[in-house]
Amino acid sequence: MGRYLLVRLYSMAVTLLGLTVLTFLMLRLIPGTVVEQMIGADAIVSEAMVAQLKAFFGLDQPWYVQYGRWMGSLLQGDLGTSWRTGKPVVQLIGERLPVTLELTAFAVAVAIMLGVVAGVVSSVRRDRAVDNITRVGALLGLSVPVFWQGTMLILFLSIYLRWMPPVVWVDFFADPLRNLTIMLLPALCLGTASAANIARTTRACMLDVLGSEYIRTAAAKGLRPRLVVLKHALRNAMIPIVTVVGLQIGILLGGTVVVEEVFTLPGVGRLVLWSIYQRDYPLTQSTILFVAVMFMTVNLAVDLLYAYLDPRIRY
């Protein structure tokens, strides 16, 4: 286990190094810099002033010098300072991280509950009406874009039917009930596609396990069908399901960028969009890197969970 953990940590470090290069270079491909965003398109500014501003932000240096300066700060544990707000990046992420974590946790809960239940029911009722409806629903869940789904949920449930309150952010500790009510629509929107993936995987794994000899033996011994399905079949089908859930958590973290913008939630995803629009390179680079570390940590935790779910697995 220790050797496996060291190898995974090494691969994570190499991946993060490659990600820093890609993020740094791709941001420089976007037309315009923070200087153009600050002075505006119609402002009349001398070339000397523009050159001074670029020198102030270090944009007059070659790209490899800028990258080396950023990497040096990262190795010292410094994520940098936002060019537009003047605040440390760590502070900005810390202020918005609770919103993103809450949204992701709710979306994961929605995805797991809907996906696992739908997949189990679909496998038990194979080729029946419930199975057909579940498969069509999963296909729709994978096909509908998140931004369109979020817009329709706001339009019908909040504006037309008035079943949900307006999406005006309220902190959980200020008003827990209203906070949870506001989070319901974004979590449902974000978790739909993941629920569809989990349902399809659960159905396929359950069908494979339900056809095994030990399942037929358990049923022949007179065990209750519910016990056979939940205790024997579902537990032995959990490894692929846990793998998909772990990947979906990372996908949900990335999906918060769109959902937070649609529902105007003050999370890390919306912060990334704002920083890209403002060409705030330190904020964008470090925030993307932070989200990538979270994604890799979740995947590592899922891999280590395998040994607990199936004692036969040894690293």
User: Is the model's pLDDT at 310 over the cut of 70?
Assistant: no
Tokens found for residue 9: 């940590």
CATH architecture of 96-309: Orthogonal Bundle (1.10)
Tokens found for residue 286: 């470090």
CATH 1.10.3720.10 region(s) of the chain? 96-309
CA dihedral 186, 190, 191, 196 (to 10 degrees): 140
Interhelix angle for 281-309 vs 268-277, to 10°?
150
Amino acid at 106: F
pLDDT tens by residue, 235-284:
778 878 888 888 888 788 878 888 888 888 888 988 998 998 888 899 99
The answer to whether the beta carbons of residues 204 and 124 sit under 8 Å apart is no
pLDDT band at residue 41 using 50, 70 and 90 as cut-offs: low
Average pLDDT, the chain: 84
- Give this prediction's pTM: 0.82
pLDDT tens by residue, 200-245:
888 888 888 887 877 777 777 777 877 788 777 887 788 788 888 8
- pLDDT given at position 167: 65
Which residues share a beta bridge with 60? none
The answer to whether the beta carbons of residues 59 and 35 sit under 8 Å apart is yes
Rounded CA gap, 137 and 120, in Å?
14
